[in-house]
Every structure is written in structure tokens, then in C-alpha cells.
């Protein structure tokens, strides 16, 4: 099954760094003002979701779910739940980071939600990509010379980092001491990160 791509309304400064993640066969959910990205991404909506407080309802002949403005879920979180209900196993979130830190952190929590269901999720923006490190090791290629591991879900134990400037073996990272920021991939190598207990947010960064 292909990716469920969820497009939010946060700014995207460089579409060329994002389009390589996308395929015509993906399922595209545009959320409210995320519709402003459609001409630049080049893929039409499979589904439109929103309360349309930041973008008019386009009234197109495309499945559209109109949400109330007063609700517990953000438009983006609701879209993720719809994607789960429709059986998708892999999610890419675009337009999910930017000027509103509260929305950015809320969208990071979608990655935790998906991981808790055993599903894969990734937030991609013009400078970085984010995903949850939990059950399986993850890798950082030289395309991303910098990376960070952040404890956003309690204490993480048994943290290993190899092929990096700052390696770790059986380490512990806690939310109140985030020393896993801005590590570097050894040139010509692929870094490997893993955790035996807990979850971490892995952020791969394209440039310093």
C-alpha cells in the first residue's frame, strides 16, 4: 500500500526538496489551508479535510469532510485518524512545521500516535525530516549531515549511536536533559541509532 500524504497549511519554502518523497499513487489528504500547496506539489487531493477557517471550502467534486471549528482534533490530526481508518500503514506529513510552534508540536504528537499503532510516520519540511525511533533501528545517510535525538515521550534507555561524531552506547536521554542535539554523520558513513526502552524523536537535518 502506498503512503497517505497529509498536507497542512504551514509554509513550505522549497518544494523541490519535498517532491522526491511523493508518488502519483499516494493518497493525498489536503487540510484546509494546505490546499494552497497543491499547485506547487503537483498532486490533486484524494480527500479534503478541514473546518475551513483559514481557506475557503473549494466546493470541488472531490470527497470533502467539513469539520466543526470547535473540536478536540486539529484538522491534521483528524486527517491522520482518517488515514488510519482507511488502512494506510505509512504516512508523510507536509506543511506541518513552521510559524506556529503549538501546531508544530501537535503535529509531532501525530508521529507518536502513529507509532503507538505500529504504523510509520514522517514529517518532512524543506530542511529536515522527523520520525519516531522506537522498535527498530533507524539510519541517517550522508544526505543529512546532522541529526538530533530528542526525548519527547519520557525517559529513553539503551540508546546507541554509531558512525557519528558523538557515539553513544547504552545511554539514557531524558526530557529534562536533551544532550542528543546536533550530532554529525561521519563522512562516507551511514549513522545508526537505536533504543531498547522508550521512544525518541529523530530529526535528520539537510544543512547546519
Polymer length of the chain: 208
Query: Residue ranges per domain, the chain?
Result: 4-126, 133-205
Calculate mean pLDDT across residues 39-50: 93
| Bridge partners for 172 per DSSP | 157
- Position 199 scores a pLDDT of 97
Residues 127-184 pLDDT 10s = 999 999 998 999 999 999 999 999 999 999 999 999 999 999 999 999 999 999 999 9
Is there a shared CATH topology between the 4-126 domain and the 133-205 domain? no
Place domain 133-205 in its CATH homologous superfamily.
Thiamin pyrophosphokinase, thiamin-binding domain (2.60.120.320)
Virtual torsion, Cα 9, 102, 143, 174, nearest 10 deg: -160
Calculate mean pLDDT across residues 106-127: 96
Cα 112 to Cα 124: distance, rounded to the nearest angstrom: 15
Please give the CATH number for the structural domain made up of 4-126. 3.40.50.10240
Cα 102 to Cα 188: distance, rounded to the nearest angstrom: 37
Amino acid at each position: 500500500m502506498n503512503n497517505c500524504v497529509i498536507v497542512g497549511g504551514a509554509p513550505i519554502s522549497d518544494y523541490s526538496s519535498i517532491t522526491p518523497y511523493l508518488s502519483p499513487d499516494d493518497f493525498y489528504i489536503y487540510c484546509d489551508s494546505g490546499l494552497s500547496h497543491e499547485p506547487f506539489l503537483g498532486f490533486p487531493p484524494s480527500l479534503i479535510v478541514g473546518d475551513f477557517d483559514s481557506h475557503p471550502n473549494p466546493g470541488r467534486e472531490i470527497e470533502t469532510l467539513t469539520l466543526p471549528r470547535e473540536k478536540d482534533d486539529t484538522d491534521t490530526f483528524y486527517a491522520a485518524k482518517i488515514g488510519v481508518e482507511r488502512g494506510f500503514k505509512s504516512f508523510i506529513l507536509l506543511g506541518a512545521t513552521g510559524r506556529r510552534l503549538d501546531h508544530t508540536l501537535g503535529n509531532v504528537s501525530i508521529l507518536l500516535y502513529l507509532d503507538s499503532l505500529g504504523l510509520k510516520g514522517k514529517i518532512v519540511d524543506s530542511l529536515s525530516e522527523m520520525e519516531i525511533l522506537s522498535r527498530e533501528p533507524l539510519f541517517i545517510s550522508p544526505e543529512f549531515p546532522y541529526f538530533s535525538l530528542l526525548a519527547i515521550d519520557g525517559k529513553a534507555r539503551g540508546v546507541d549511536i554509531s558512525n557519528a561524531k558523538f557515539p553513544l552506547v547504552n545511554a539514557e536521554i531524558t526530557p529534562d536533559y536533551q544532550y542528543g542535539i546536533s550530532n554529525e554523520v561521519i563522512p562516507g558513513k551511514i549513522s545508526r541509532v537505536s533504543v531498547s526502552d522508550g521512544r525518541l524523536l529523530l530529526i535528520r537535518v539537510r544543512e547546519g
